[in-house]
Amino acid sequence: MDRSTEIREFLRTRRARITPEQAGLPPHPGARRVPGLRREEVAQLAGVSVDYYIRLERGRTQGVSETVLDAVARALHLDDTERAHLFDLAQPGTARPRRKRPLAPQRVNPTVYRALDALAVPAMVMGRRMDVLAANRLGYALFADFEARPRHERNFARFVFLDEAAHALYANWEKAAGECVATLHLYAGRHADDPQLTELVGELSVHSDIFRRMWADHDVLAHTTGTKHLVHPLVGELTLDYVTLAVEGDPDQSLVILTPEPASPSAEALSILASWNGASVSALRSPERNTTPGRQVRHSWTRHDAP
């Protein structure tokens, strides 16, 4: 992916969503040919020259200062996540682009594996590009048995956009898909030169018109807390709150834990799903297979490294 293109499109889409009135500018006589703010209006609001802002929007950010980026962020009404994304893309104070270094393989700490196995609620470890690095039995049973898939398919974005099961699983699939794309865009700000991200975005763009449209919006989202509304094929409707926790030692790795409200129908449904243990994963893959609720299946981790 090209960092200059990412900056250009991100700034263009941000200024397109703000009207002069929202920005506090006086009405401009005559028809406007562009949606939102013009480049010169952003420059005026940020207190920089028009030429300087145009260079910035074209991705020429070498040596740009944090003060200027802060001013542009205020002019475009960026939230904290969008501001951080702009800084990731622009790399303020950098005289020349950072040297591209291969990303080291990601490994899940054995302590995290033990924590996953000890949790009585669905949980998974997410890595770069929304790769699924590990999950507990309920995590796999709730979404998909990623462990049984080829290594390159153990990715949550691929699941959401290319697996028909995901369309049925989410009560509001398009909302979930938009959040997925916005999370990928946030990662792209930190690792625009990741060739596997480029490959993933290319694959999803080819196979999904909706992904291609959403990717062009350049929205960003930091998944920290929220609620997922699911319709599981085995236990029906589930409303689960989630929290995303950073994993120490790897800034691109996080632990996602999903919990129901105590004593709720979702808690009961999740308890039923848990009673199937490992058998629930097989049932999701082969609904016609006869399995017995409550059968205890010992889980053994398949530990792997993700690039």
Q: Which two tokens stand for residue 283?
A: 């049932």
Clarify whether residues 207 and 251 are in a common domain: yes
Lowest-pLDDT choice from 54-68, 121-135, 287-301: 287-301
Cα angle value 279/284/290 (rounded, 5°): 55
Count CB atoms within 10 A of the CB of residue 104: 9
Q: Of 93, 102, 89, whose CA–CA distance to 2 is shortest?
A: 89
Clarify whether residues 258 and 181 are in a common domain: yes
Q: Look at residue 270 and tell me if it is in a domain.
A: yes
* Residue 157 three-state SS: helix
CA 164 remoteness from chain centre:
19
Whether the CA torsion 191, 192, 196, 201 is positive or negative: it is: positive
Res 133 pLDDT > 70: yes
Render pLDDT for 240-278 as a digit per residue (tens, 0 to 9).
999 999 998 888 999 999 999 999 999 999 999 998 755
More confident residue, 80 or 305: 80
Clarify whether residues 36 and 118 are in a common domain: no
What pLDDT is attached to residue 92? Answer: 78
Res 4 pLDDT > 60: yes
Q: Look at residue 162 and tell me if it is in a domain.
A: yes
Q: Look at residue 96 and tell me if it is in a domain.
A: no
What pLDDT is attached to residue 281? Answer: 38
Q: Transcribe 12-63 into DSSP letters.
A: HHHHHT--HHHHTPPPPSS--SSSS--HHHHHHHHTS-HHHHHHHHTT--TT
pLDDT band at residue 288 under the 50/70/90 scheme: very low
How large a percentage of the chain has pLDDT more than 70? 86
Q: Look at residue 95 and tell me if it is in a domain.
A: no
What's the Rg (C-alpha) of the chain? 22
Domain boundary among 90, 124, 152: 90
What pLDDT is attached to residue 306? Answer: 60
Lowest-pLDDT choice from 40-44, 63-67, 277-281: 277-281
Clarify whether residues 82 and 140 are in a common domain: no
CATH number at residue 36: 1.10.260
Clarify whether residues 224 and 77 are in a common domain: no
Report the C-alpha gap between 257 and 259 in whole angstroms. 7
Domains in the chain: how many in total?
2
Domain boundary among 57, 90, 123: 90
Residues 129 and 306 sit within 8 Å (Cβ to Cβ): no
Lowest-pLDDT choice from 20-24, 173-177, 193-197, 206-210: 20-24
Q: Which two tokens stand for residue 109?
A: 């700490």
pLDDT, mean of residues 161-168: 96
How large a percentage of the chain has pLDDT more than 90? 71
- The DSSP symbol for 133 reads E
Report the C-alpha gap between 267 and 261 in whole angstroms. 6
More confident residue, 49 or 301: 49
Question: Where in the sequence is the domain holding 80, given as residue range(s)?
Answer: 3-90
Would you tell me the crossing angle of helices 209-217 and 195-207 to the nearest 10 degrees?
130
Clarify whether residues 129 and 12 are in a common domain: no
Q: Transcribe 165-213 into DSSP letters.
A: HHHHHBTTHHHHHHHHHHHHHHHHHH-TT-HHHHHHHHHHHHH-HHHHH
Q: How far is CA 38 from CA 6, 51, 69, 70, 117, in A?
A: 19, 13, 17, 19, 53
More confident residue, 229 or 36: 229
What pLDDT is attached to residue 259? Answer: 96
Question: Whole-model pTM?
Answer: 0.82
Q: Look at residue 126 and tell me if it is in a domain.
A: yes
pLDDT band at residue 291 under the 50/70/90 scheme: very low
Clarify whether residues 30 and 121 are in a common domain: no
* Residue 238 three-state SS: strand
What is the b/e burial string over 271-292, where b = at least 16 CB atoms within 10 angstroms of the residue's CB? ebbbebbbbbbbbbeeeeeeee
Q: Of 117, 106, 87, whose CA–CA distance to 220 is shortest?
A: 87
pLDDT band at residue 63 under the 50/70/90 scheme: confident
